[in-house]
A = this chain, B = another copy of it.
Amino acid sequence: MEKVYNYIELHQKKYLELLQRFLRQPSVSTTGLGMKEMVILLKETLVEMGFSIEEIATKGYPIIYGELAGEGRHTLTFYNHYDVQPIDPIEEWEVDPFSGTIKDGKIISRGAADNKGQLISRLCAIDAYLKTYGSLPLNIKVIYEGEEEVGSPHLSYFRKNYPDKLETDGIVWEGGERETKGPAHITLGVKGLTYVELRVRTANIDAHSCNAPIWPNAVWRLIWALNTLKNEKDEILIDGFYDEVVPPSEQDIEYLKNIPYNENEILSQMGMKGFINEVTGEELLKKYLYTPTCNICGIKGGYIEEGIKTVLPSYATAKLDFRLVPNMECKKIVKLLRKHLDKHGFSDVEIITMSGQPTFRSDYNNPLVNAAISASTEVYKFPPVIYPTDSGTMGVYQFCHGTEIPCVMYGVSNRFSQIHAPNENIFVEDYILGIKMTAALMDKFSSH
């Protein structure tokens, strides 16, 4: 692999310029800005590299699918997305967000971290491998989505209609972080998600609050209903909610020991007095990664403007997300919630299911995970930090849930990358290391 690494180092300029070319092309899926041009640039780039490509139309932006045959029988798939978040608030940017600026060892632009830096670094790895050895050691598939930043509304359409394109021996998902000058993270799974809205209507219209002694109040009803779901100790009280939860294994716990989590820095940065139930250390990480949640994302009812209005609200809503751990089922949570509300006298509280995304976790001991660990250790000079699961939810379940296909996530960003925020950036060094990482992964995974 030294040859490939050398090639990458010698051609840093070329690889940075390719990324800059992509960063300078806006591609904001929320507004549509530059999306058409981005699709053209992406297709041209893939074709130039020798990919056979297909533009898969959806009701939204197309999915760009590509294949590049290599030696051997293994196939590795890269999922990334070519869209980015909007740039507002624009006044907080230190540089033009679509300038591809390189300054003080950083690449600063919308999309540098999320997700163009990750996407292009992988293409550069393929390029370097090809240029060095003339052919790839395995077959590559790429799946590039244009709607990740708007919730991937058509990824399931792709999954259902193109099962052959999903056939693979392993998937590399979107991206990941590296500790400053330290080890890289490798993440092996995601939590699931059930997202619901609760709605209570007690009358046709709001009324004067002088009627409060005798007319029902929708906000009170909602509060009493919500209060039955979780207590102040953060215990979720829905019957059967925890029934399927498998406690973390020894290996799960073992991985926690290497996960960096600077409690004091986080508390001070966020202005928080403490963590829930004052948990700390390993218990904190255990709760963070391995427990399901019942979180209120938002609540609204009655008069919510400035000042005084004496009103009796007739309608109130709350949005809740439940993050799920392995073995929990999205739809079952809704059923348990309905049963719980009915049992506690809240049949009047309507449940609207807004999203359901299953969990996914790769087995620890599969060739892809082993190859990724080995590649990461070689490239970053530290064993990677293994996250058995992300704390969040990603579309990876679309490709992996219910299959034997393993998935790893790693990438070129860091925890100060300002993802979704102004001055999004990555280190040039991490970008180059990311190219090497993918090259090494292809090499190691091909020989399992």
B287 & A214 in contact (Cβ 8 Å cutoff): yes
Q: Which of A271, A284, A296, A298 has the most CB of B within 10 A?
A: A296
A213 & B316 in contact (Cβ 8 Å cutoff): no
Residue from B211, B216, B303, B392 in contact with A297 in the complex, judged by beta carbons closer than 8 Å: B303
Chain A residues 126-156 with CB under 8 Å of chain B are 151
A215 & B287 in contact (Cβ 8 Å cutoff): no
Residue from B203, B204, B303, B314 in contact with A298 in the complex, judged by beta carbons closer than 8 Å: B303
Binary contact track A318-359/B, C-beta < 8 Å → 1, others 0: 110101000000000000000000000100000000110000
A169 at the interface (CB under 8 A from B): no
Question: For residue A275, which residues in chain B have a CB less than 8 angstroms away from its CB?
Answer: 214-216
Chain copies in the assembled complex: 2
A367 at the interface (CB under 8 A from B): no
Chain A residues 212-229 with CB under 8 Å of chain B are 212-217, 219-220, 223-224, 226-227
Question: For residue A217, which residues in chain B have a CB less than 8 angstroms away from its CB?
Answer: 295-296
In the bound complex, what is the Cα–Cα distance between A117 and B223 (angstroms)?
Answer: 42
A433 → chain B closest CB, angstroms: 26
A205 at the interface (CB under 8 A from B): yes
Question: For residue A224, which residues in chain B have a CB less than 8 angstroms away from its CB?
Answer: 227, 231-232
A323 & B220 in contact (Cβ 8 Å cutoff): no
Question: For residue A303, which residues in chain B have a CB less than 8 angstroms away from its CB?
Answer: 297-298, 319
In the bound complex, what is the Cα–Cα distance between A385 and B210 (angstroms)?
Answer: 19
In the bound complex, what is the Cα–Cα distance between A171 and B204 (angstroms)?
Answer: 37
In the bound complex, what is the Cα–Cα distance between A298 and B390 (angstroms)?
Answer: 36
- Across the interface, name the chain B residue whose C-beta is closest to A263: B214
Residue from B207, B216, B390 in contact with A210 in the complex, judged by beta carbons closer than 8 Å: B390
Residue from B212, B216, B300 in contact with A300 in the complex, judged by beta carbons closer than 8 Å: B300
- Across the interface, name the chain B residue whose C-beta is closest to A290: B213
A40 at the interface (CB under 8 A from B): no
A308 & B319 in contact (Cβ 8 Å cutoff): yes
A301 at the interface (CB under 8 A from B): yes
Question: For residue A279, which residues in chain B have a CB less than 8 angstroms away from its CB?
Answer: 214
B291 & A216 in contact (Cβ 8 Å cutoff): no
A47 at the interface (CB under 8 A from B): no
A355 & B210 in contact (Cβ 8 Å cutoff): no
A12 → chain B closest CB, angstroms: 33
- Across the interface, name the chain B residue whose C-beta is closest to A292: B213
Chain A residues 172-223 with CB under 8 Å of chain B are 191, 193, 195, 202-205, 207-217, 219-220, 223
In the bound complex, what is the Cα–Cα distance between A217 and B220 (angstroms)?
Answer: 19
A299 at the interface (CB under 8 A from B): yes
In the bound complex, what is the Cα–Cα distance between A288 and B284 (angstroms)?
Answer: 50
Residue from B232, B272, B393 in contact with A202 in the complex, judged by beta carbons closer than 8 Å: B272
Question: For residue A191, which residues in chain B have a CB less than 8 angstroms away from its CB?
Answer: 210
Question: For residue A323, which residues in chain B have a CB less than 8 angstroms away from its CB?
Answer: 209-210, 212-213
A410 → chain B closest CB, angstroms: 18
A74 at the interface (CB under 8 A from B): no
Given A203-B271, A219-B299, A299-B301, 19 other A-B contacts at CB below 8 A? A151-B308, A193-B310, A202-B273, A203-B270, A203-B272, A209-B293, A210-B391, A210-B392, A212-B293, A212-B321, A214-B275, A214-B284, A219-B298, A270-B314, A297-B302, A297-B312, A299-B299, A299-B302, A303-B319
12 pairs of residues in contact across A and B, judged by CB atoms under 8 Å:
A203-B271, A203-B272, A209-B321, A210-B323, A212-B323, A213-B289, A217-B295, A223-B223, A227-B227, A298-B301, A299-B316, A300-B300
Binding site for B on A (CB under 8 A): 151, 191, 193, 195, 202-205, 207-217, 219-220, 223-224, 226-227, 230-232, 270-276, 279, 284, 287-289, 291, 293, 295-304, 307-314, 316, 318-319, 321, 323, 345, 354-355, 390-393
7 closest pairs, A vs B, by CB? Answer: A298-B302, A298-B303, A210-B392, A204-B271, A212-B295, A210-B391, A227-B227
